């Protein structure tokens, strides 16, 4: 026990609290690495939340709920893909519109689902391992989505760093004209990346409505999508840093609530602002001296691509 | 000339043109506008205000046009929304969250012919700003009684939104009445610093449950704390806040405070229609039907339920005030002498905990 808080419990709830932003941030990170800036993460998350909720209530299966959530997020992302990749609309404006549209549409879809409880997502059965004192809660006490979120970070890191697919994706994001000249289908790759980002945001949203809050309420994601966007920048487009960023933001929020519940006399204002302070500090450190190159965003981030040029 | 002064000048011009005519005149048709801090679908605070708005429409039919805007952030954005509403011809605007206080007064100064009604605030800097509030602390007394009787761990919790008098008096009332029936009770307060963020509200409830709290009252707007309590399979109970939240009956939701704004809204819009609206400061409670106590479910033993209902009836009859002395402040100094009841002014500016609460109020 530390200050009345069980560290195992704290880390466990920190990991759970961070799942939605990790999933959404990894999705957005891949999208941005492909050179597309999709500011509609919040809208895709809440579509995932409502579609996942509806799917799981209708089928009685939590797993199908997550599938529905991913499909819902991807469906909304498809609109963005059509607008920005085929109609060459401005990405910033389209993304913001996507968030507004997602919030409104989710509210409409969710009308008949208020006050219903979704099927439960249980912790994976690790048997005796889950009984062990500290690691039982921290490592073996979670539902499958928590493991999926961490696995997604590892996979994104590995694919981006070590595979041909990742190299192509990065090439498209860094210089779409060169990638095009090499014969890569810039538009197709970007559309697929956008759909992946939508599906991941949808999964994150579904986690909010199916596990973290287990209910449907209008506006349930309450800004988590914006935090995911911020984390991508904080992480300088690196998957593992995104994980750290998500744990930092999610963790501080949980930590300050736990400190209050434990009666610790720490002013909550300082804790609440600490992730932002750390973000500033990290950005300052990274943008000075040797680390500077690492801070660079994908060179073609947010630029529209047309093959005729 | 920037946009704001342009708007202000335009408004002033309108005011000069129609000012003399519009004042204290009966109207054939009025437009009533509502500003909500969360979504209507929160099933709590904003939902309940919207029920009041719908009641206005119901009561006056074609004579009133009702519009509303959801999810309006407190602060500078609110001023923009209010200005837009005023320019769109609203005759009366209800701003339904504490944080709209300064924006309401600022916009009211620019539109002297429009009526503004600010919920839960205390500033009436302009003659066209009225304030209204409900005595939620009366309901908190009943919840505190149930909490003190029902807790097994002797730890009860309260999820606060912001450290403002309205919330602090709720906490004090809740604690005092729990302590009265269970001297061993300890109160845990967690500040969420938001009115509406279901995930954070659920996290706050979770943090308390992990600390052994088994009765949770919340002063935020969504049903998320009840959803979190429901995961404990009956070991943790809570209360509906602002709305009945009947979906969580019979447990974890064992009772609720229901804000019934409809009678007030219907009355005030009616006064705009017949030209009798004046600046007022209304603070109604259980007696006036503005605060209702939702059904106490069978998860509560019959005698506790009977006691709680007796307290409700005594408050309604005016024979019992939840803040009746002797009550000391947290620092041990005297607040209310034996038998004295708290003056409204003390409550509305309440910035201290009562004796026995161990936490500090964030500054």
B39 contacts in chain A (CB < 8 Å): 107, 217-219
Give me the pLDDT at residue A273, please.
75
Among candidates B71, B202, B213 on the partner chain, residue whose Cβ is nearest the Cβ of A213 = B202
- Of chain B, the percentage scoring pLDDT greater than 70 comes to 93
Read off the pLDDT band of B334 (50, 70, 90).
very high
How far apart, in whole angstroms, are the C-alpha atoms of residue B335 and residue B328? Answer: 5
Burial-class residue B80 by CB neighbours within 10 Å (0-12, 13-18, 19+): middle
**Whether residues B147 and B252 fall in one domain:** yes
- Of residues A265 and A40, more confidence is placed in A40
pTM (predicted TM-score) = 0.81
Q: What is the CATH number of the domain that holds A95?
A: 1.10.3470
- Of residues B362 and B321, more confidence is placed in B321
**Whether residues B96 and B152 fall in one domain:** no
Quick check: B194 pLDDT over 70? Answer: yes
Is B363 part of a structural domain of the chain?
A: no
Question: Chain B closest CA to A154's CA: distance in Å?
Answer: 26
Give me the pLDDT at residue B1, please.
45
Is B215 part of a structural domain of the chain?
A: yes
* Weakest mean pLDDT among A243-252, B7-16, B21-30, B199-208: B7-16
Is the separation of the CB atoms in A50 and A270 below 8 Å? no
Segments forming the whole domain that contains residue A290: 7-295
Is B353 part of a structural domain of the chain?
A: no
**Whether residues B19 and B100 fall in one domain:** yes
Which pair of structure tokens corresponds to residue B154? Answer: 């002797």
Cα–chain-centroid distance for residue B11? 31
Is A2 part of a structural domain of the chain?
A: no
Which pair of structure tokens corresponds to residue A104? Answer: 């409104």
Is B313 part of a structural domain of the chain?
A: yes
Convert the pLDDT of each residue in A201-230 to its tens digit: 999 999 999 998 888 888 888 888 988 998
Residues 6 or more apart in contact with residue B17 via CB below 8 angstroms: none
Strand locations in A99-242 (E): none
Quick check: B16 pLDDT over 80? Answer: no
Q: What is the mean pLDDT of chain B?
A: 89
**Whether residues B110 and B39 fall in one domain:** yes
Give me the pLDDT at residue A263, please.
76
A4 contacts in chain B (CB < 8 Å): 211
Asked if A218 reaches chain B (Cβ–Cβ under 8 Å), the answer is yes
**Whether residues B319 and B211 fall in one domain:** yes
Quick check: B22 pLDDT over 50? Answer: no
**Whether residues B142 and B127 fall in one domain:** no
Read off the pLDDT band of B21 (50, 70, 90).
very low
Domain count across chain B: 2
**Whether residues B88 and B161 fall in one domain:** no
Read off the pLDDT band of B278 (50, 70, 90).
very high
Quick check: A107 pLDDT over 80? Answer: yes
**Whether residues B112 and B247 fall in one domain:** no
Quick check: A115 pLDDT over 80? Answer: no
Q: What is the CATH number of the domain that holds B213?
A: 3.40.50.2300
Is B358 part of a structural domain of the chain?
A: no
Quick check: B315 pLDDT over 80? Answer: yes
**Whether residues B112 and B211 fall in one domain:** no
* Weakest mean pLDDT among A87-96, A207-216, B164-173: A207-216
Closest CA to A200 of A148, A253, A164: A148
Is A162 part of a structural domain of the chain?
A: yes
Which pair of structure tokens corresponds to residue A278? Answer: 């750390």
**Whether residues B268 and B247 fall in one domain:** no
User: What ipTM does the predicted assembly reach?
Assistant: 0.78
* Weakest mean pLDDT among A247-251, B27-31, B305-309: A247-251
Segments forming the whole domain that contains residue B168: 136-258+291-348
Q: What is the mean pLDDT of residues B315-336?
A: 92
Cα–chain-centroid distance for residue B175? 18
Q: What is the mean pLDDT of residues A78-90?
A: 94
- Of chain B, the percentage scoring pLDDT greater than 90 comes to 71
Q: What is the mean pLDDT of residues A112-126?
A: 79
Give me the pLDDT at residue B2, please.
54
Domain count across chain A: 1
Is A308 part of a structural domain of the chain?
A: no
Q: What is the mean pLDDT of residues B327-344?
A: 92
Is A217 part of a structural domain of the chain?
A: yes
Read off the pLDDT band of B14 (50, 70, 90).
very low
Give me the pLDDT at residue B124, please.
92
- Alpha helices by DSSP H, listed for B212-261, are 224-230
* Weakest mean pLDDT among B20-34, B292-306, B347-361: B20-34
Closest CA to A209 of A61, A44, A22, A66: A66
Asked if A108 reaches chain B (Cβ–Cβ under 8 Å), the answer is no
**Whether residues B107 and B219 fall in one domain:** no
B42 contacts in chain A (CB < 8 Å): 217-219
Asked if A117 reaches chain B (Cβ–Cβ under 8 Å), the answer is yes
Quick check: B18 pLDDT over 50? Answer: no
**Whether residues B191 and B338 fall in one domain:** yes
């Amino acid at each position: 026990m530390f200050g009345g808080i069980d560290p195992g419990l704290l880390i466990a709830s920190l990991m759970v609290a961070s799942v939605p932003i990790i999933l959404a941030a990894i999705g957005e990170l891949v999208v941005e690495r492909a050179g597309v800036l999709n500011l509609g993460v919040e809208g895709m998350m809440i579509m995932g939340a409502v579609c996942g909720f509806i799917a799981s209530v209708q089928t009685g299966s939590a797993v199908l709920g997550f599938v529905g959530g991913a499909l819902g997020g991807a469906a909304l992302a498809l609109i963005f893909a059509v607008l920005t990749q085929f109609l060459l609309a401005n990405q910033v404006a389209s993304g913001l519109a996507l968030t507004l549209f997602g919030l409104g549409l989710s509210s409409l879809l969710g009308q008949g689902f208020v006050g219903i409880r979704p099927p439960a997502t249980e912790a994976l059965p690790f048997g005796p391992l889950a009984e062990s004192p500290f690691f039982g809660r921290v490592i073996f006490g979670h539902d499958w989505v928590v493991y999926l979120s961490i696995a997604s970070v590892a996979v994104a890191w590995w694919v981006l760093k070590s595979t041909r697919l990742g190299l192509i994706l990065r090439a498209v994001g860094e210089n779409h004209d060169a990638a095009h000249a090499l014969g890569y289908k810039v538009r197709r790759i970007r559309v697929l990346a956008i759909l992946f980002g939508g599906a991941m945001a949808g999964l994150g949203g579904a986690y909010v409505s199916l596990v973290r809050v287990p209910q449907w309420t209008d506006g349930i994601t309450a800004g988590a999508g914006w935090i995911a966007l911020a984390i991508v920048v904080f992480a300088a487009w690196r998957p593992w840093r995104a994980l750290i960023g998500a744990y930092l933001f999610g963790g501080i929020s949980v930590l300050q609530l736990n400190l209050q519940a434990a009666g610790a006399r720490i002013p909550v204002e300082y804790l609440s602002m600490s992730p932002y302070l750390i973000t500033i500090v990290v950005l300052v450190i990274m943008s000075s001296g040797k680390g500077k190159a690492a801070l660079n965003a994908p060179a073609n981030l947010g630029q529209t691509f047309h093959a005729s040029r | 000339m920037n946009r704001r002064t342009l708007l202000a000048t335009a408004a002033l011009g309108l005011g000069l043109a129609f000012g003399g005519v519009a004042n204290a005149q009966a109207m054939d048709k009025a437009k009533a506008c509502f500003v909500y801090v969360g979504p209507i679908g929160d099933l709590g605070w904003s939902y309940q205000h919207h029920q009041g708005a719908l009641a206005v429409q119901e009561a006056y039919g074609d004579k009133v046009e009702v519009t509303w805007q959801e999810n309006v952030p407190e602060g500078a954005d609110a001023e923009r929304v209010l200005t837009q509403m005023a320019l769109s011809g609203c005759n009366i605007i209800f701003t339904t969250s504490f944080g709209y206080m300064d924006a309401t007064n600022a916009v009211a100064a620019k539109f002297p012919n429009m009526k503004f009604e600010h919920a839960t605030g205390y500033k009436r800097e302009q003659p066209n700003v009225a304030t209204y509030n409900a005595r939620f602390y009366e309901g908190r007394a009943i919840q505190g009684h149930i909490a003190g009787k029902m807790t097994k761990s002797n730890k009860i919790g309260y999820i606060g939104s912001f450290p403002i008098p309205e919330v602090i008096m709720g906490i004090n009332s809740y604690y005092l009445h729990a302590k009265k029936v269970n001297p061993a009770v300890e109160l845990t307060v967690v500040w969420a610093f938001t009115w509406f963020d279901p995930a954070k509200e659920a996290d706050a409830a979770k943090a308390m449950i992990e600390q052994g709290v088994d009765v949770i009252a919340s002063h935020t707007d969504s049903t998320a704390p009840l959803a979190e309590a429901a995961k404990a399979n009956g070991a943790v109970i809570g209360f509906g806040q602002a709305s009945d939240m009947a979906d969580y009956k019979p447990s974890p939701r064992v009772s609720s405070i229901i804000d019934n704004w409809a009678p007030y809204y219907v009355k005030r819009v009616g006064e705009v229609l017949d030209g009798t609206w004046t600046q007022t400061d209304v603070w109604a409670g259980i007696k006036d039907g503005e605060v209702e106590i939702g059904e106490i479910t069978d998860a509560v033993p019959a005698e506790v339920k009977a006691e709680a209902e007796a307290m409700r009836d005594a408050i309604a009859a005016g024979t019992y005030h939840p803040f009746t002395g002797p009550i000391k402040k947290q620092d041990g100094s005297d607040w209310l002498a034996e038998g004295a009841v708290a003056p409204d002014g003390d409550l509305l500016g309440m910035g201290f905990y009562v004796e026995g609460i161990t936490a500090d109020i964030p500054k």
